Amino acid sequence: MKIEIRTGSDSDISHIKELINLLKLVGVDFDLRVLSAHRTPERMINEARKLEKKGFILSVAVAGGSAHLPGMTASETLLPVLAIPVLTKNFNGLDSLLSSLQMPEGVPLGVLPINDSYSTFLFILKLLNYLSSYILFDGNIYEKLVKNLFVEKSDLFLNIRKNLEKLSKKFNYLKKYNVSEKIIILIDDKIKNKCESYYKKIIQQKIDLQIKLGIEFFVYHFDPDNIEDLLLDIKENNDKSSIIVFEYFSYNPLICKISSSLANLVVHSFVLDKEENIDFNLLLNIFNKKNKFDNVTENLFPNVFTGVNRIENCFLFLLKIIATKNSKIKNFLKNYKKVMKKKVVKIDKEVKLKTKINNFLFL
């Protein structure tokens, strides 16, 4: 299973050197390439469209200051795309983060913390574990891996490398993988009370997908008081289930504890009431960990974020992952993309017509 790593320039590579070293350490097959969204847009788009045919299962795009590379890549492929925002001089990475994080609904992008190679590496391992036909590592091994992430000679890395080598020899095509389509939805209790319209949207999205795709959803509500029991239950009973988390945007996000404690694949979205303004200092504090790992489990975010109030994109990003082996879901995403395109074209025609009428009236 091969992944692509794309950057807009060679200078961006320095921001992900730890990721490259860790992927080499465990033997993950990847291609590193420079594809500028601004200087080589046609080449960047063409390469994004060819990813699936070339056998890739994932694209990791480094998001520079203007950060157009990840989003444009995500718009041109059905494969999941990760964005690693770069730490910038003038804005501390907030520019890279926001332009990646707030993608329009319908074009999902999985965003990692700023300059965070370690969380990205762990998410990639979780993805490979999820897509494999057997368990590469369970929750107990994952917890040990998190604690030994900076011990390069750890036997854990060697064992994962051996498992990945077995996997690549035994299976040649993604269609042979058996992926669980059981999805756990964790909803912060505060959302129901403070963001009722978004809560209804979450439930409606779940119902629609359940009817259209037959996916099994399990909905749990959580708060700080019951989170430990909930995590224990998931660890014991749902090794292969993927998890979607909708959490109210607050000063003490629980997502870190959730994603660092579980070997499961985790996709996350913050939810905020329409009347509330985002606190950018808080957002930057959450996403800019500056790789200071005094307490590893509290600083790693091995999950992806799909934006603030981007309910649809949270579901769609996970569907992109499942679609790597599920033709029914892949066709659903293809049709979804066509419907989005038709809507934009229709709006464009309506705007042109209104403009002509208005020009005629004011002659």
**Number of CB atoms found within 10 A of residue 210's CB:** 13
Q: How many helices (H) and strands (E) does the chain have?
A: 15, 10
- Identify the CA nearest to 3 among candidates 86, 99, 104, 126: 126
How are strands ordered across the β-sheet holding 242-248? 29-34, 2-7, 56-63, 81-85, 110-111, 304-308, 266-271, 242-248, 182-188, 216-222
CA–CA distance, 30 with 355 (Å, rounded to integer): 49
Q: Which residues of 110-137 are buried (b: 16+ CB within 10 A; e: fewer)?
A: bbbbbbbbbbbbbbbbbbbbbbbeeebb
For residue 16, give the nearest of 65, 60, 81 by alpha carbon: 60
pLDDT of residue 152: 65
- CB 108 within 8 Å of CB 317: yes
Cβ neighbours, 10 Å, residue 225: 8
pLDDT one digit per residue (tens) for the chain, 363 residues: 799 999 988 888 988 999 999 999 999 999 999 998 888 889 999 999 999 999 999 999 998 777 789 999 999 999 999 999 988 888 888 888 988 989 999 999 999 999 999 999 999 999 998 888 767 788 888 888 888 887 766 788 888 888 888 766 655 444 444 455 889 999 999 999 899 999 999 999 999 999 999 899 999 999 888 888 888 888 887 667 899 999 999 877 788 888 888 889 999 999 999 888 888 888 888 888 654 444 455 578 889 999 999 999 999 999 999 998 888 999 999 999 999 999 999 999 999 998 888 877 665
Encoded tokens for 148: 């030994």
* DSSP assignment letter at 336: H
3-state secondary structure 198-253: HHHHHHHHHHHHHHHHCCEEEEEEECCCCHHHHHHHHHHHCCCCEEEEEEECCCCC
Q: What's the whole-model pTM score?
A: 0.92
What angle do the packed helices 117-131 and 139-147 form, to 10 degrees? 160
Residues 6+ apart with CB under 8 A from 40: none
Here the tokens at position 24 are 């080499």
